[in-house]
Every structure is written in structure tokens, then in C-alpha cells.
Amino acid sequence: MKGIFPVERFQSIRTPFYYYDTELLRKTLRTINEEAGKHDNFVVHYAVKANANPAILRIIREAGLGVDCVSGGEIEAAIKAGFKPSGIVYAGVGKSDWEINLSLDNNIFCFNVESLAELEVINELAAEKGKKARVAFRINPNVGAHTHANITTGLAENKFGIAMRDMIPVIRKAEKMENVEFIGLHFHIGSQILDMGDFIALCNRINELQEELEREHIKVENINVGGGLGIDYEHPNRVPVPDFKSFFDTYSRHLHLLPGQKLHFELGRSVVAQCGSLITRTLYIKQGEVKKFVIVDAGMTDLIRPALYQAYHKIENITSEDAKETYDIVGPICESSDVFAKQIELNATKRGDLIALRSAGAYGEIMASQYNCRQLPKGYTTEDLNII
């Protein structure tokens, strides 16, 4: 065992694979429940898009969270993992008919609707079934977030949500429809947000919109502020559990909820990122003309975040204690962007050494692909390895 990893057990497992520390996941979930539980009208959903590994879903379900889904496949995965349909919220700019029908058949809690065209289709499909669909409108609040451009979602230029000026007309339309029931508003400004000021900006915008709605005598039972809380990719050991206290306290202090209103959250990354690592084996060390490369058996097909977002993941050699050297860490895929890190320090590395890419529990395994006809990486939990 070096550090937090059961290295001996890893030796017999085919690499690359994801390893999930379920003790850390449970601790994270306890913290979420404790901090959200201090505010009696807060409801936390887990954003399945971050990680849909069945073992992870089961642990999150046991902790009592609801779920946020963005596709029919995620709804099926959530139901299979035992989540109650009455705790499912379903978002997405392009819901297809079978996905809407599946949601209606399962009586999910709420559709987060992103356009008038979508509202009309939901109304039609619900009518065919003689049902009334609960809907919330995703409003684009035009609030920027200090995060990577590919993962901000709340700006007017983004494809997500209904423009603020269309909010009241759309609600009025819904009120006239037979087969939908308007139950709330939904927002999400982006992901990997560490500056609480961004969430305060969202609260201020929602407060303004709420005043506008009150003037129109429109009652809103649910406000959903999405997810977005970031994690510390630089220090997975020092900050294994994100700062849920500041996050929930920020909303409690700055968002003016009206009596009886519930505040929903859709947390993905902050729930699962730190508990997961991608474990890969060193295939070759190559001395290039100007640098030394560690070529590992995992590639961008297993963890695409560095190639897609220039994301940083801390990388450790978990089988070497030797003096540090400087390397580029690269994968075997035939793409020059298949690079995990450039010019980083690693304990001197040789063929066969195991390397951990940390903080990979969110948007890691779930974004894997089979490009180059590669096998998808498997995911193992602490329990799977019989550690505890």
C-alpha cells in the first residue's frame, strides 16, 4: 500500500482501470447531507452525467440523494440503480420522443424544459397518455462563470435554456396547456466553479426574476440552481471533500426563497471527482531529443479531459520512491493530443510502474470511448477489491 492505494491488489488487475475509493465517496455524501440538511428546504440531486458506474450510483442512492438526468439512458440507469422516479429531474436541450415517453411512463418528478417547442411536444405526448407532466423552465440567466469556456453554460450565447425576456410568456403558455403543470425554474451557470461570487451573481439574478414573477402573481414552488461546485484538482489529498459548507451557505444567505419554496441542486463533479483515479501501467520510457516520455497504457480514450479541456489531473507514480525526474506523460492513441501532462515531476519511472491520474471520478469513465478499437476501461470500487 503506497499512500491511499492498495497497490499490491492492483498488480493483478488488467490496466487501465478506474479505482473508486468508496470510503471517501461515503464521507463526501455524509458531508453533503450534513451541510444541506442544515437548511430544511434544500433538496440535492446527483448529476448522473458525472459518473454512471452502477456501484457508484448505488452508494449515492443509499445516501438518499435524488438524481438529475440528461437522457433516457441516464433515466434507465438511475431507475436500475434503485432511484425513485419521484426524485428524478430531467434536463437537456434535445429530448427525443422516446425519452419524453419514458419519463412520462415513469412519472418522473420534473422535466427541465429548455424551449417552447419542447414544451409543446411534452404537452402533446402527455395528452396521448392522459397525463399531466410537471415542468420547470430552464432560464438562461446570462451569468458568466470563471471557468473553462467549454463548460460555461449560463451566457446568452450558449445553447442552453430559455431567454429571460421569454420567461413570463412561456409560463403563461404553459398555464393554458391541459397536460403540463408549471412547478418551477431551473438554472445552471457552468461547472468547476470555485469562486462563490459566481453563485452569488446567480442568486442576485434569481432574486430579480422572482420579484418580476411576484408582480405578475406567478407562483413558483421550486427553484433549481443546477450544480457547478468545483474541486481542488491540485490537492486531492489535502482537500478530498469539496467545500459544501460555503456552497450551501452562499445560497442560503443570498437567495431569497419565498415561503414554501424548495431549493434544488444538481451536483455532479463535487460528489464523485475526488474518489476516483485512473490507474495505468507504464509501457515504455522513451528518451526523445529534448524530453523524456513516459508512455502509459491509458489514453485519451480512457480520460479525455486533458485533451479536450486542457484539464489538469495530478499524476503520481504509485510504485516508485526513486528521486524525481521530469517527463511528459503520454498515451498510446494515434493523436498528438493524447497527452496527459507535459514536463511534470514524477518519481523515476520504469516499465511496469503503476501511475495514478487523480481526481478522475467525475467525467472520466463515463466519457471514455472505443476509438482505435480499444476496450472501455473497467471501474473497481474498494469493495470490489475486497479491501474492507
Which listed residue (121, 151, 200, 295) binds ligand LLP by CB under 6 A? 151
Nearest approach in angstroms of CB 44 to ligand LLP is 11
Query: Nearer Cβ to ligand LLP, position 198 or 353?
Result: 198
Cell 432574486, residue located: 207
The H or E element containing residue 128 is helix 116-128
Which listed residue (267, 303, 330, 339) binds ligand LLP by CB under 6 A? 267
The contact pattern for ligand LLP, residues 13-42, with x = CB under 6 A and - = no contact, is: ------------------------------
DSSP string, 219-285: ---EEE----B---SS-TTT--S--HHHHHHHHHHH--PPTT-EEEEEE-HHHHGGGEEEEEEEEEE
> For residues 306 and 300, is the Cβ–Cβ distance under 8 A?
yes
The contact pattern for ligand LLP, residues 340-379, with x = CB under 6 A and - = no contact, is: -----------------------x----------------
Query: Nearer Cβ to ligand LLP, position 293 or 309?
Result: 309
Name which of residues 52 to 111 contact ligand LLP (CB under 6 A).
Answer: 68, 91
The H or E element containing residue 8 is helix 7-10
176, three cell numbers: 393554458
Name which of residues 305 to 324 contact ligand LLP (CB under 6 A).
Answer: 305, 309
242, three cell numbers: 469539496
Nearest approach in angstroms of CB 76 to ligand LLP is 19
Q: Is 294 strand, coil or helix?
A: strand
Which range, of 120-128, 166-174, 253-261, 263-271, touches ligand LLP by CB under 6 A? 263-271
Query: Nearer Cβ to ligand LLP, position 159 or 172?
Result: 159
Nearest approach in angstroms of CB 313 to ligand LLP is 11
Nearest approach in angstroms of CB 203 to ligand LLP is 16
d(CA 27, CA 59): 11
Helices and strands counted in the chain (H then E): 11, 17
> For residues 22 and 383, is the Cβ–Cβ distance under 8 A?
yes
Which listed residue (87, 268, 276, 379) binds ligand LLP by CB under 6 A? 268
Residues binding ligand LLP: number (CB under 6 A):
22
Name which of residues 218 to 257 contact ligand LLP (CB under 6 A).
Answer: 226-229
Could you give the angle at which helices 244-254 and 22-37 cross, rounded to 10 degrees?
Answer: 20
> For residues 169 and 216, is the Cβ–Cβ distance under 8 A?
no
d(CA 49, CA 140): 20
275, three cell numbers: 474518489
Name which of residues 191 to 220 contact ligand LLP (CB under 6 A).
Answer: 191-192
Interaction between residue 47 and ligand LLP (CB under 6 A): yes
> Which residue ranges make up the site for ligand LLP (CB under 6 A)?
47, 49-50, 68, 91, 151, 153, 188, 191-192, 226-229, 266-270, 305, 309, 363
